[in-house]
């Protein structure tokens, strides 16, 4: 009964069969077989499964098709993969499935729709950034890209034009050496010696190089090093176009007075007191021992008649004071210094490029000396060492030529190359160059400078951007809706944006944009927002700005190479070789924000030098370009040192600093020189 109770759910016939066999089995002997009884009815499920498995061992293999529920998704997935691999890559990126949100940076030049090799190279040279590439295939971005490329291509300056520029530059250099009034002034500086790094002394210098005025005192240590103390002030805009020269030069003299009170107060106070007493009692002049020799760096075209005499030819860099033209600028400054009873004598008139050359020679003399000093900053100019035999116009000047030291057979010449090719026979010209020149203070003048210097590059870019802004077919700084802008907003230009004001865009912005490698060009966009009132500029806007900025800067660098190549070839330095690498090095000192901070400026410059057939790669490698820091200050002090020796009647050569300031002028002069030197050291 208990068995039946627990097996009520089983097959009754099978169970009964097994029970009968167990009951009938003998107690001794072999155990009964456990083979199942013949199938008499329904079979247990697990036994049926065992039977089917056993039979399957001998069943031939047959293809089992999947069920429809499995087959349909598999076919769909296969179709999607085929489309993705074979069809979708040919479609725009925003139609693709499984696209990467941030593709890896390219290993080589990005493929962009640049139809011009010049524009293509700009993209290749610019820093790469990964997200939000400009050239997504949308009508908005494509229109902006095409407009930016079209303007950038206008600033192309190919190697054929570089060679023509070098030839014309050399021809105008020769004209300037022979006659007065040539396009390149080629002004004699009366500086006939360059330093060798052993000069010593304490001197003062002032620098009027553009929009800033600097006052400094320089201690030369005699080991190619120096110590400098300085102050700087911005020239007020109204004084740059003052009615009289007195307004500007009295302002400069007051800045010198403030500097002396601050940094040399004891010497200043004692001198002023002595001078006042001397004037009241006997009218005698003050003694030379109490006076600083000052080098006046005046970075404007002057006709020089002596080491501290020169009349202003014309103003540049935004200055326009007609009253000063034709006057001796050293005398104008000395007059205002004397009016304030300051212990200073203007000993030398220095162009900033001459100062750069002198400073480079002092800090890095080398075996061959420095050939050229060049400025690529607010303005541009160059001064180089020329043979006196080629400076034939000195003989034609007669008494106006002044006293010339001929012992070295050389003289530093101030080229004033900013006026190269004023008649535009070889210089590249765009519509933006023409409108800038027409709106300048000196139309038709300084045409070379207006394509290179920091005073004008920002204004060129501003005019390019305005042309795009005012073009209704170009979507620069404009969006139809927020989806066209990765900032999820629409771009706006404030009504009082500096972009709408002449010279409202600083050249430093070109350096920021050209070198921006931040994700999405965020640095450029922040500068546009904070400095220029362009809010929510898109990445496409920023890259368009960067492209045009790079084109303007590249043209400026290649034009700069024209001037350097012409000086190197005109002086014959490449043909004079000794076989020694150090002796054959051509040293060039440069200064200015463009050459120092503008991305790729020197690379572009050297690239153009290699393209000049007379220089080539081998000649370019011989040219060493080095930054001459503070050339206008240290260089002016060095020229003041030379001038002091000439005035005292000693050897004018800067290469002989061991002799006293008075040279061999007798015992009394030696004593006075010693007192003067000791006083300088004390101060």
For 400-428, the DSSP string reads GG-----SSSEEEEE--GGGTTTT-SSS-
Backbone angles phi, psi at 490, to 5 degrees: -115, 145
The dihedral through the CA atoms of 476, 481, 486, 489 has a sign that is positive
Maximum CA pair distance of the chain? 162
Sign of CA dihedral 347, 351, 352, 354: negative
Coil, strand, or helix at residue 582? Answer: coil
Please give the positions annotated as active site.
299, 314, 352
Distance, in Å, from the CA atom of 142 to the CA atom of 148, rounded to the nearest integer, reads 10
Strand partners, 373: 383, 589
Say if CB 645 and CB 661 are below 8 A apart: yes
The closest alpha carbon to 632, from 383, 259, 371, 364, belongs to: 383
**Integer angstrom CA distances of residue 1 from 9, 19, 649:** 14, 12, 147
Q: Where would I find the H helices in 474-576? A: 508-514, 522-532, 539-570
Q: How many other C-beta atoms can be found within 10 angstroms of the C-beta atom of residue 560?
A: 29
Distance of CA 644 to the CA centre of its chain: 38
Give which of 560, 572, 640 is closest to 600, Cα–Cα.
560
Token pair 């370019």: residue: 620
Strand partners, 671: none
Tally of helices (H runs) and strands (E runs) in the chain:
23, 15
For the four alpha carbons of 643, 647, 652 and 656, in that order, the dihedral sign comes to negative
Q: Which two tokens stand for residue 372?
A: 């050229």
In DSSP notation, 75-113 reads HHHHHHHHHHHHTGGGS-GGG-TT--SSPPPPSSS----
Q: Which residues pair with 285 in a beta bridge?
A: none
**175, containing H or E segment:** helix 159-178
Shortest CA distance to 391 belongs to which of 187, 663, 644? 187
Instruction: Tell me the three state secondary structure of residue 381.
Output: strand
Sequence-distant (6+) residues with CB within 8 A of 524 are: 512, 513, 516, 518, 537, 542, 545, 546
Q: Kindly state the helix (H) or strand (E) to which residue 183 belongs, with its residue range.
A: none
With a CB cutoff of 8 Å and minimum separation 6, the contacts of 546 are 126, 513, 514, 516, 521, 524
Is the Cβ–Cβ distance between 529 and 476 less than 8 Å? Answer: no
| In contact, 559 and 157? CB cutoff 8 Å | yes
The alpha carbon torsion through 173, 174, 178, 183 (nearest 10 deg) reads: -40
């Amino acid at each position: 009964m208990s068995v039946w109770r627990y097996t009520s759910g089983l097959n009754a016939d099978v169970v009964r069969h097994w029970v009968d066999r167990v009951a009938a089995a003998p107690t001794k002997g072999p155990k009964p077989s456990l083979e199942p009884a013949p199938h008499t009815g329904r079979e247990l499920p697990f036994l049926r499964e065992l039977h089917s498995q056993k039979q399957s061992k001998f069943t031939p293999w047959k293809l089992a098709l999947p069920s429809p529920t499995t087959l349909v998704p598999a076919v769909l997935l296969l179709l999607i993969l085929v489309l993705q691999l074979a069809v979708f890559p040919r479609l725009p990126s925003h139609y693709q499935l499984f696209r990467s949100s941030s593709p890896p940076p390219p290993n080589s030049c990005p493929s962009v729709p640049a139809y011009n090799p010049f524009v293509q190279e700009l993209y290749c040279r610019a820093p790469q950034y990964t997200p939000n590439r400009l050239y997504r295939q949308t009508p908005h971005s494509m229109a902006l890209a095409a407009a930016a490329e079209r303007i950038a291509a206008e600033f192309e300056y190919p190697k054929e034009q570089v060679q023509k520029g070098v030839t014309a530059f050399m021809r105008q250099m020769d004209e300037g050496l022979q006659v007065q009034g040539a396009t390149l002034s080629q002004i004699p500086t009366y500086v006939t010696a360059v330093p060798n790094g052993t000069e010593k002394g304490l001197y003062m210098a002032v620098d009027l190089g553009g929009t800033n005025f600097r006052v400094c005192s320089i201690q030369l240590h005699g080991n190619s090093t120096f110590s400098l103390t300085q102050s700087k002030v911005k020239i007020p805009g109204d004084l740059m176009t003052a009615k009289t020269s007195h307004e500007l030069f009295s302002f400069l003299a007051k800045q010198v007075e403030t500097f002396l009170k601050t940094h040399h107060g004891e010497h200043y106070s004692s001198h002023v007191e002595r001078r006042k007493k001397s004037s009241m009692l006997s009218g005698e002049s003050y003694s030379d021992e109490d006076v600083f020799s000052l080098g006046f760096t005046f970075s404007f075209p002057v006709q020089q008649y002596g080491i501290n005499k020169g009349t202003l030819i014309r103003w540049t860099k935004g200055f326009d004071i007609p009253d000063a033209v034709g006057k001796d600028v050293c005398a104008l400054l000395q007059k205002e210094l004397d009016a304030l009873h300051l212990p200073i004598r203007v000993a030398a008139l220095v162009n900033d490029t001459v100062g750069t050359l002198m400073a480079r020679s002092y800090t890095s003399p080398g075996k061959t000396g420095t050939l050229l000093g060049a400025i690529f900053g607010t303005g541009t100019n160059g001064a180089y060492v020329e043979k006196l035999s080629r400076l034939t116009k000195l003989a034609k000047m007669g008494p106006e030529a002044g006293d010339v030291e001929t012992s070295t057979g050389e003289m530093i010449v101030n080229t004033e190359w900013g006026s190269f090719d004023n008649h535009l026979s070889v210089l590249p010209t765009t519509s933006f160059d023409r409108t800038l020149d027409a709106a300048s203070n000196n139309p038709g003048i300084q045409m070379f400078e207006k394509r290179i210097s920091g005073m004008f590059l920002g204004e060129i870019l501003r005019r390019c951007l305005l042309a795009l802004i005012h073009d209704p077919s170009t979507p620069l700084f404009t969006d139809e809706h927020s989806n066209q802008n990765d900032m999820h907003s629409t771009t706006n230009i404030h009504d009082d944006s500096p972009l709408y004001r002449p010279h409202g865009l600083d050249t430093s912005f070109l350096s920021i944009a050209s070198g921006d490698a931040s994700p999405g060009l965020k640095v450029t966009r922040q500068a546009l927002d904070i400095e220029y009132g362009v809010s929510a500029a898109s990445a496409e806007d920023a890259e368009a700005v960067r492209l045009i900025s790079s084109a303007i800067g590249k043209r400026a660098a290649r034009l700069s190479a024209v001037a350097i190549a012409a000086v190197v070839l005109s002086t014959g330095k490449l043909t004079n070789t000794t076989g020694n690498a150090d002796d054959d090095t051509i040293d060039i000192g440069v200064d200015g924000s463009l050459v120092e901070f503008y991305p790729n400026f020197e690379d572009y410059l050297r690239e153009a030098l290699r393209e000049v057939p007379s220089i080539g790669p081998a000649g370019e490698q011989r040219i060493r370009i080095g930054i001459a820091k503070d050339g206008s200050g240290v260089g002016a002090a060095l020229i003041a040192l030379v001038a002091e020796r000439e005035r005292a009647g000693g050897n004018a050569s800067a290469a002989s600093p061991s002799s006293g300031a008075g040279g061999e002028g007798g015992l009394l002069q030696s004593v006075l020189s010693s007192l003067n030197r000791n006083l300088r050291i004390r101060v």
